Amino acid sequence: MRPKLYATVSKNTTAVLHRVMREQDCNKSQAVDFIADYYSKTQNSLREKQVEETVELVIEKLKLNKLV
């Protein structure tokens, strides 16, 4: 069972929460879970892209070192 979270939120946060509740046809707790899951997926995708870019840079540097 999830612990209850009490917090003061801005009007924008409340608006987003209510929009998700309306679009997903769910209660407030499910909307918070949906937003958290969406954010987690977005962050994981961003990290994967950053890792790919880093790998490409490392490969380029290794190629340059071999050519010199």
pLDDT over 90 for what percent of the chain?
34
Average pLDDT of the chain, as a whole number? 85
Q: What is the pLDDT of residues 5-35, one digit of tens each?
A: 666 677 888 888 999 999 999 999 899 999 9
This prediction has a pTM of 0.60
Task: For residues 54-66, give the mean pLDDT.
Answer: 88
Q: How much is the pLDDT for 4?
A: 67
Locate 18 and state its tokens: 């209510």
In the predicted structure, residue 68 carries a pLDDT above the cut 60: no
Return all residues near 30 (Cβ < 8 A) that are at least 6 apart: 21, 24
Domain positions in the chain are 11-67
Alpha helix locations (H) across 1-68?
11-24, 28-67
